[in-house]
Structure 1
Amino acid sequence: MPDLLNMLVDSGAIKYGEFVLSSGKKSSVYIDIKLAVTNPEILETVAGMMAEKLKSVDFDRIACIELGGVPLAVALSLKTKKPLVIFRKKKKEYGTQEEFIGDIDRGDRIVVVEDVITTGKSAKSVVERVEKAGGKVVRVIAVVDREESDLTPVSLLRLSDILSQSKFQ
Protein backbone atom coordinates (compact mmCIF):
# COMPACT_ATOMS: atom_id res chain seq x y z
CA MET A 1 0.00 0.00 0.00
CA PRO A 2 1.37 3.42 -0.91
CA ASP A 3 2.59 5.62 1.92
CA LEU A 4 -0.26 8.00 2.74
CA LEU A 5 1.98 10.68 4.24
CA ASN A 6 4.10 10.88 1.09
CA MET A 7 0.94 10.99 -1.03
CA LEU A 8 -0.42 13.89 1.01
CA VAL A 9 2.86 15.79 0.76
CA ASP A 10 3.16 15.14 -2.99
CA SER A 11 -0.42 16.34 -3.56
CA GLY A 12 0.24 19.61 -1.76
CA ALA A 13 -2.27 18.76 0.97
CA ILE A 14 0.21 19.45 3.78
CA LYS A 15 1.20 23.08 3.94
CA TYR A 16 3.51 24.92 6.33
CA GLY A 17 3.10 28.59 7.20
CA GLU A 18 0.61 30.55 9.29
CA PHE A 19 -2.99 29.40 9.12
CA VAL A 20 -6.24 29.91 10.98
CA LEU A 21 -8.17 26.63 11.24
CA SER A 22 -11.95 26.30 11.10
CA SER A 23 -11.85 26.05 14.90
CA GLY A 24 -10.37 29.55 15.01
CA LYS A 25 -7.06 28.20 16.30
CA LYS A 26 -3.78 29.24 14.69
CA SER A 27 -1.46 26.59 13.33
CA SER A 28 1.84 26.38 11.46
CA VAL A 29 0.56 23.28 9.62
CA TYR A 30 -2.52 23.06 7.39
CA ILE A 31 -3.76 19.65 6.27
CA ASP A 32 -6.11 19.86 3.29
CA ILE A 33 -7.66 16.41 2.98
CA LYS A 34 -10.44 17.85 0.80
CA LEU A 35 -7.79 18.73 -1.79
CA ALA A 36 -5.96 15.42 -1.40
CA VAL A 37 -9.01 13.24 -1.99
CA THR A 38 -9.77 14.92 -5.29
CA ASN A 39 -7.01 12.56 -6.46
CA PRO A 40 -8.62 9.13 -7.01
CA GLU A 41 -5.46 7.25 -6.01
CA ILE A 42 -5.35 9.03 -2.65
CA LEU A 43 -9.08 8.61 -2.11
CA GLU A 44 -8.84 4.90 -2.88
CA THR A 45 -5.84 4.55 -0.55
CA VAL A 46 -7.65 6.35 2.29
CA ALA A 47 -10.79 4.22 1.83
CA GLY A 48 -8.71 1.04 1.83
CA MET A 49 -6.84 2.05 4.98
CA MET A 50 -10.07 3.01 6.74
CA ALA A 51 -11.74 -0.25 5.74
CA GLU A 52 -8.73 -2.16 7.09
CA LYS A 53 -8.85 -0.28 10.42
CA LEU A 54 -12.58 -1.00 10.70
CA LYS A 55 -12.29 -4.72 9.86
CA SER A 56 -13.00 -5.81 13.43
CA VAL A 57 -15.74 -3.21 14.04
CA ASP A 58 -19.35 -4.38 13.75
CA PHE A 59 -21.28 -1.52 12.12
CA ASP A 60 -24.33 -0.99 9.93
CA ARG A 61 -23.81 2.44 8.41
CA ILE A 62 -21.32 5.22 7.80
CA ALA A 63 -22.11 8.84 8.71
CA CYS A 64 -20.40 12.09 7.84
CA ILE A 65 -21.04 15.80 7.72
CA GLU A 66 -20.86 17.78 4.51
CA LEU A 67 -18.39 18.71 2.87
CA GLY A 68 -15.09 17.17 3.93
CA GLY A 69 -16.46 13.81 5.01
CA VAL A 70 -18.60 13.16 1.93
CA PRO A 71 -16.00 11.79 -0.52
CA LEU A 72 -14.46 9.75 2.31
CA ALA A 73 -17.80 8.29 3.38
CA VAL A 74 -18.78 7.51 -0.22
CA ALA A 75 -15.46 5.77 -0.91
CA LEU A 76 -15.67 3.82 2.36
CA SER A 77 -19.26 2.87 1.57
CA LEU A 78 -18.19 1.48 -1.80
CA LYS A 79 -15.32 -0.41 -0.16
CA THR A 80 -17.34 -1.89 2.73
CA LYS A 81 -20.74 -2.14 0.99
CA LYS A 82 -22.29 -0.29 3.96
CA PRO A 83 -24.89 2.44 3.36
CA LEU A 84 -24.12 5.99 4.33
CA VAL A 85 -25.81 8.99 5.90
CA ILE A 86 -24.77 12.55 5.09
CA PHE A 87 -25.59 15.17 7.70
CA ARG A 88 -26.10 18.73 6.59
CA LYS A 89 -24.17 21.42 8.41
CA LYS A 90 -27.43 23.29 8.67
CA LYS A 91 -30.97 21.93 8.32
CA LYS A 92 -32.57 22.93 5.02
CA GLU A 93 -35.24 25.58 5.34
CA TYR A 94 -36.93 24.48 2.11
CA GLY A 95 -38.10 21.31 0.37
CA THR A 96 -38.28 18.37 2.78
CA GLN A 97 -36.26 20.29 5.39
CA GLU A 98 -34.30 17.13 6.19
CA GLU A 99 -31.37 17.28 8.56
CA PHE A 100 -29.63 14.39 6.82
CA ILE A 101 -29.67 12.34 3.64
CA GLY A 102 -30.03 8.58 4.08
CA ASP A 103 -31.63 6.41 6.73
CA ILE A 104 -30.87 5.61 10.33
CA ASP A 105 -32.88 2.82 11.92
CA ARG A 106 -33.22 2.62 15.69
CA GLY A 107 -30.21 0.74 17.04
CA ASP A 108 -28.06 1.08 13.91
CA ARG A 109 -24.36 0.93 14.72
CA ILE A 110 -22.68 3.86 13.02
CA VAL A 111 -19.11 4.77 12.10
CA VAL A 112 -18.54 8.53 11.84
CA VAL A 113 -16.01 9.57 9.20
CA GLU A 114 -14.05 12.84 9.33
CA ASP A 115 -11.27 14.29 7.23
CA VAL A 116 -9.36 16.15 9.97
CA ILE A 117 -10.22 16.32 13.67
CA THR A 118 -8.95 19.33 15.59
CA THR A 119 -11.31 20.25 18.41
CA GLY A 120 -13.72 17.44 17.57
CA LYS A 121 -16.67 19.84 17.38
CA SER A 122 -17.84 18.60 13.99
CA ALA A 123 -17.49 14.91 14.91
CA LYS A 124 -19.29 15.46 18.22
CA SER A 125 -22.11 17.17 16.34
CA VAL A 126 -22.54 14.11 14.11
CA VAL A 127 -22.40 11.77 17.13
CA GLU A 128 -25.16 13.75 18.87
CA ARG A 129 -27.29 13.85 15.75
CA VAL A 130 -26.87 10.12 15.09
CA GLU A 131 -27.98 9.38 18.67
CA LYS A 132 -30.92 11.77 18.34
CA ALA A 133 -31.98 9.80 15.22
CA GLY A 134 -31.82 6.51 17.15
CA GLY A 135 -28.40 5.24 16.08
CA LYS A 136 -25.38 4.34 18.19
CA VAL A 137 -21.90 5.54 17.23
CA VAL A 138 -19.44 2.68 17.58
CA ARG A 139 -16.38 4.44 16.17
CA VAL A 140 -15.11 7.79 14.91
CA ILE A 141 -12.45 7.52 12.22
CA ALA A 142 -10.43 10.34 10.67
CA VAL A 143 -7.75 10.66 8.07
CA VAL A 144 -5.80 12.98 10.40
CA ASP A 145 -6.17 13.54 14.13
CA ARG A 146 -4.54 16.80 15.18
CA GLU A 147 -4.55 15.37 18.75
CA GLU A 148 -6.20 18.43 20.29
CA SER A 149 -9.66 17.06 21.13
CA ASP A 150 -10.96 14.92 23.95
CA LEU A 151 -12.12 12.36 21.36
CA THR A 152 -10.17 9.18 20.82
CA PRO A 153 -10.73 8.57 17.13
CA VAL A 154 -9.16 5.88 15.05
CA SER A 155 -6.94 7.80 12.65
CA LEU A 156 -4.78 7.03 9.67
CA LEU A 157 -2.29 9.74 10.66
CA ARG A 158 -1.75 11.98 13.66
CA LEU A 159 -0.31 15.45 13.56
CA SER A 160 2.65 14.18 15.60
CA ASP A 161 3.33 11.62 12.82
CA ILE A 162 3.42 14.40 10.26
CA LEU A 163 5.60 16.69 12.38
CA SER A 164 8.04 13.90 13.17
CA GLN A 165 8.82 13.60 9.48
CA SER A 166 11.07 16.67 9.43
CA LYS A 167 12.05 16.05 5.80
CA PHE A 168 8.58 17.35 4.88
CA GLN A 169 8.99 20.75 6.54
Structure 2
Amino acid sequence: MTNDDVLDEFRAAGALREGHFVLSSGLHSPIFLQKNLVFMRPQRCERLCKALAEKIIATVGQPDVAVSPAVGGIIPGYETARWLNVASIYVEREGGSFKFRRGFHLEPGQKVVMVEDIVTTGLSSRECIAAIQEAGGEVIAAACIVDRSGGKVDVGVPLVSLCSLEVPAYPADALPPELAAIPIEDPGSRRLRG
Protein backbone atom coordinates (compact mmCIF):
# COMPACT_ATOMS: atom_id res chain seq x y z
CA MET A 1 0.00 0.00 0.00
CA THR A 2 1.44 3.37 -1.02
CA ASN A 3 1.20 6.77 0.67
CA ASP A 4 -1.39 7.72 -1.94
CA ASP A 5 -3.43 4.59 -1.19
CA VAL A 6 -3.48 5.46 2.51
CA LEU A 7 -4.42 9.08 1.83
CA ASP A 8 -7.16 7.89 -0.54
CA GLU A 9 -8.64 5.93 2.37
CA PHE A 10 -8.58 9.07 4.52
CA ARG A 11 -10.10 11.17 1.71
CA ALA A 12 -12.83 8.60 1.06
CA ALA A 13 -13.74 8.71 4.75
CA GLY A 14 -13.78 12.52 4.84
CA ALA A 15 -10.93 12.28 7.31
CA LEU A 16 -8.32 14.48 5.62
CA ARG A 17 -9.23 17.91 6.96
CA GLU A 18 -7.82 21.37 6.38
CA GLY A 19 -8.06 24.32 8.77
CA HIS A 20 -6.29 25.22 12.02
CA PHE A 21 -5.99 22.32 14.43
CA VAL A 22 -4.35 21.78 17.79
CA LEU A 23 -2.95 18.26 17.72
CA SER A 24 -2.67 15.91 20.71
CA SER A 25 0.98 16.95 20.85
CA GLY A 26 -0.08 20.57 21.45
CA LEU A 27 1.35 21.62 18.09
CA HIS A 28 -0.78 23.50 15.58
CA SER A 29 -1.26 22.26 12.03
CA PRO A 30 -3.19 23.20 8.89
CA ILE A 31 -3.90 19.50 8.25
CA PHE A 32 -5.71 17.06 10.53
CA LEU A 33 -6.16 13.37 9.93
CA GLN A 34 -9.41 12.39 11.68
CA LYS A 35 -8.53 8.73 11.96
CA ASN A 36 -11.75 7.85 13.78
CA LEU A 37 -13.67 8.43 10.55
CA VAL A 38 -11.33 5.92 8.92
CA PHE A 39 -11.48 3.36 11.72
CA MET A 40 -15.28 3.44 12.02
CA ARG A 41 -15.52 1.39 8.84
CA PRO A 42 -14.21 -2.12 9.55
CA GLN A 43 -13.37 -2.83 5.91
CA ARG A 44 -11.27 0.32 5.61
CA CYS A 45 -9.53 -0.33 8.93
CA GLU A 46 -8.90 -3.91 7.84
CA ARG A 47 -7.23 -2.85 4.58
CA LEU A 48 -4.91 -0.43 6.34
CA CYS A 49 -4.02 -2.66 9.27
CA LYS A 50 -3.50 -5.75 7.13
CA ALA A 51 -1.03 -3.77 5.03
CA LEU A 52 0.66 -2.48 8.20
CA ALA A 53 0.96 -6.02 9.60
CA GLU A 54 2.52 -7.21 6.35
CA LYS A 55 5.00 -4.33 6.45
CA ILE A 56 5.88 -5.05 10.09
CA ILE A 57 6.66 -8.69 9.31
CA ALA A 58 8.67 -7.75 6.22
CA THR A 59 10.64 -5.12 8.15
CA VAL A 60 11.31 -6.60 11.61
CA GLY A 61 9.84 -10.09 11.63
CA GLN A 62 7.07 -11.63 13.70
CA PRO A 63 6.31 -10.13 17.12
CA ASP A 64 4.79 -12.06 20.02
CA VAL A 65 2.31 -9.35 20.99
CA ALA A 66 1.07 -5.92 19.92
CA VAL A 67 0.77 -3.14 22.50
CA SER A 68 -0.96 0.16 21.84
CA PRO A 69 -1.46 3.38 23.76
CA ALA A 70 -5.06 4.14 24.72
CA VAL A 71 -7.17 5.69 23.35
CA GLY A 72 -6.17 6.31 19.74
CA GLY A 73 -4.06 3.22 19.27
CA ILE A 74 -6.57 0.64 20.48
CA ILE A 75 -8.47 0.06 17.22
CA PRO A 76 -5.47 -0.05 14.85
CA GLY A 77 -3.53 -2.03 17.43
CA TYR A 78 -6.27 -4.64 17.66
CA GLU A 79 -6.77 -4.94 13.92
CA THR A 80 -3.04 -5.06 13.19
CA ALA A 81 -2.62 -7.73 15.88
CA ARG A 82 -5.38 -9.73 14.22
CA TRP A 83 -3.39 -9.82 10.98
CA LEU A 84 -0.18 -10.58 12.88
CA ASN A 85 -2.04 -13.40 14.66
CA VAL A 86 -0.90 -12.15 18.08
CA ALA A 87 -2.59 -10.80 21.19
CA SER A 88 -3.50 -7.12 21.32
CA ILE A 89 -3.17 -5.30 24.62
CA TYR A 90 -2.91 -1.66 25.55
CA VAL A 91 -1.59 0.75 28.12
CA GLU A 92 -3.58 3.55 29.71
CA ARG A 93 -2.60 6.76 31.42
CA GLU A 94 -2.62 6.53 35.17
CA GLY A 95 -1.11 9.33 37.20
CA GLY A 96 0.19 10.93 34.00
CA SER A 97 2.09 7.93 32.64
CA PHE A 98 1.22 4.79 30.72
CA LYS A 99 0.57 1.65 32.73
CA PHE A 100 -0.67 -1.84 31.99
CA ARG A 101 -4.08 -2.27 33.62
CA ARG A 102 -7.14 -4.52 33.28
CA GLY A 103 -5.04 -7.62 33.81
CA PHE A 104 -2.80 -6.93 30.81
CA HIS A 105 0.84 -7.86 31.27
CA LEU A 106 3.88 -8.99 29.34
CA GLU A 107 6.09 -12.00 29.84
CA PRO A 108 9.77 -11.10 30.25
CA GLY A 109 11.49 -10.92 26.88
CA GLN A 110 8.32 -11.02 24.78
CA LYS A 111 8.91 -9.45 21.38
CA VAL A 112 6.56 -6.49 21.14
CA VAL A 113 5.46 -4.24 18.32
CA MET A 114 4.01 -0.99 19.61
CA VAL A 115 1.14 0.02 17.30
CA GLU A 116 -0.08 3.62 17.06
CA ASP A 117 -2.54 5.38 14.84
CA ILE A 118 -0.72 8.57 13.87
CA VAL A 119 2.72 9.74 14.99
CA THR A 120 3.63 13.43 14.99
CA THR A 121 6.25 14.10 17.67
CA GLY A 122 6.51 10.51 18.88
CA LEU A 123 5.82 11.44 22.51
CA SER A 124 3.00 8.93 23.06
CA SER A 125 5.02 6.28 21.25
CA ARG A 126 8.09 6.86 23.42
CA GLU A 127 5.97 6.84 26.57
CA CYS A 128 4.27 3.61 25.50
CA ILE A 129 7.62 2.03 24.62
CA ALA A 130 8.97 2.99 28.05
CA ALA A 131 5.99 1.28 29.73
CA ILE A 132 6.55 -1.85 27.62
CA GLN A 133 10.23 -1.96 28.50
CA GLU A 134 9.49 -1.36 32.17
CA ALA A 135 7.14 -4.36 32.03
CA GLY A 136 9.90 -6.56 30.59
CA GLY A 137 8.96 -6.51 26.92
CA GLU A 138 11.48 -6.28 24.10
CA VAL A 139 10.22 -3.65 21.65
CA ILE A 140 11.28 -4.76 18.19
CA ALA A 141 9.53 -1.86 16.45
CA ALA A 142 6.94 0.85 16.66
CA ALA A 143 4.36 0.95 13.91
CA CYS A 144 1.77 3.46 12.78
CA ILE A 145 -0.69 4.06 10.01
CA VAL A 146 0.64 7.59 9.37
CA ASP A 147 3.95 9.19 10.33
CA ARG A 148 3.29 12.94 10.10
CA SER A 149 6.98 13.74 10.59
CA GLY A 150 8.02 12.48 7.17
CA GLY A 151 10.36 9.95 8.77
CA LYS A 152 12.11 12.48 11.00
CA VAL A 153 10.69 11.42 14.37
CA ASP A 154 12.84 9.24 16.62
CA VAL A 155 10.91 6.92 18.92
CA GLY A 156 13.98 4.98 20.04
CA VAL A 157 13.21 1.85 18.01
CA PRO A 158 12.61 1.28 14.29
CA LEU A 159 9.39 2.99 13.16
CA VAL A 160 7.36 1.13 10.55
CA SER A 161 4.81 3.44 8.97
CA LEU A 162 2.26 2.65 6.32
CA CYS A 163 2.29 6.27 5.16
CA SER A 164 4.94 8.91 5.74
CA LEU A 165 4.05 12.57 5.26
CA GLU A 166 5.78 15.76 6.13
CA VAL A 167 2.90 17.80 7.50
CA PRO A 168 3.77 21.17 9.00
CA ALA A 169 3.21 21.52 12.73
CA TYR A 170 4.03 24.61 14.77
CA PRO A 171 4.29 25.60 18.42
CA ALA A 172 1.57 28.06 19.47
CA ASP A 173 4.07 30.91 19.67
CA ALA A 174 5.44 30.35 16.15
CA LEU A 175 2.34 30.19 13.95
CA PRO A 176 2.56 31.48 10.40
CA PRO A 177 0.16 34.43 9.95
CA GLU A 178 -2.11 32.55 7.53
CA LEU A 179 -2.63 29.77 10.09
CA ALA A 180 -3.06 32.18 13.00
CA ALA A 181 -5.90 33.88 11.09
CA ILE A 182 -8.00 30.68 11.04
CA PRO A 183 -10.16 29.77 14.06
CA ILE A 184 -8.68 26.91 16.10
CA GLU A 185 -10.20 23.44 16.37
CA ASP A 186 -8.93 21.09 19.10
CA PRO A 187 -9.79 17.54 18.01
CA GLY A 188 -6.88 15.81 19.81
CA SER A 189 -7.44 13.29 22.59
CA ARG A 190 -4.47 13.79 24.91
CA ARG A 191 -6.16 16.58 26.84
CA LEU A 192 -9.30 14.52 27.42
CA ARG A 193 -9.67 13.50 31.01
CA GLY A 194 -12.22 11.03 32.27
TM over 0.5: yes
Conserved 8 A contact 1:63-1:87 = yes
Structure 1's consecutive aligned runs of 4 or more residues displaced over 4 angstroms after TM superposition are none
What's the CA shift for 1:81? 1.4
2:166 is paired with a residue whose SS is helix
Say yes or no: does 1:11 pair with 2:13.
Answer: yes
What's the CA shift for 1:29? 0.4
Match of 2:92 in 1: 88
Say yes or no: does 1:70 pair with 2:74.
Answer: yes
What's the CA shift for 1:107? 0.3
Which consecutive unaligned segments of at least 5 residues does structure 2 have?
168-194
The aligned runs of 1:1-169 (5 Å cut-off) are 3-56=5-58, 57-90=61-94, 99-101=100-102, 102-147=104-149, 149-151=153-155, 153-160=159-166
What's the CA shift for 1:10? 1.3
What is the TM-score with the length of structure 1 in the denominator?
A: 0.84
- Sequence identity (%): 28
- Decide whether aligned partners of structure 1 residues 117 and 75 sit closer, same or farther in structure 2, where only a CA change above 3 A counts: same
Aligned length: 156
CA separation in 1, counterparts of 2:31 and 2:139? Answer: 30
Conserved 8 A contact 2:114-2:143 = yes
CA separation in 2, counterparts of 1:34 and 1:66? Answer: 13
Conserved 8 A contact 1:113-1:141 = yes
Q: Deviations over 1:109-156 (max 9, x none)?
A: 100001111111100011000000000100000011011532351111
2:63 is paired with a residue whose SS is coil
CA separation in 2, counterparts of 1:100 and 1:119? Answer: 25
Conserved 8 A contact 1:4-1:42 = no
Which consecutive unaligned segments of at least 5 residues does structure 1 have?
92-97, 162-169
CA separation in 1, counterparts of 2:147 and 2:68? Answer: 16
Conserved 8 A contact 2:115-2:143 = yes
Conserved 8 A contact 2:65-2:111 = yes
What's the CA shift for 1:33? 1.4
CA separation in 1, counterparts of 2:46 and 2:64? Answer: 21
CA separation in 1, counterparts of 2:166 and 2:24? Answer: 19
1:88 is paired with a residue whose SS is strand
What is the TM-score with the length of structure 2 in the denominator?
A: 0.74
2:17 is paired with a residue whose SS is strand
CA separation in 2, counterparts of 1:89 and 1:36? Answer: 24
CA RMSD of aligned residues (A): 2.1
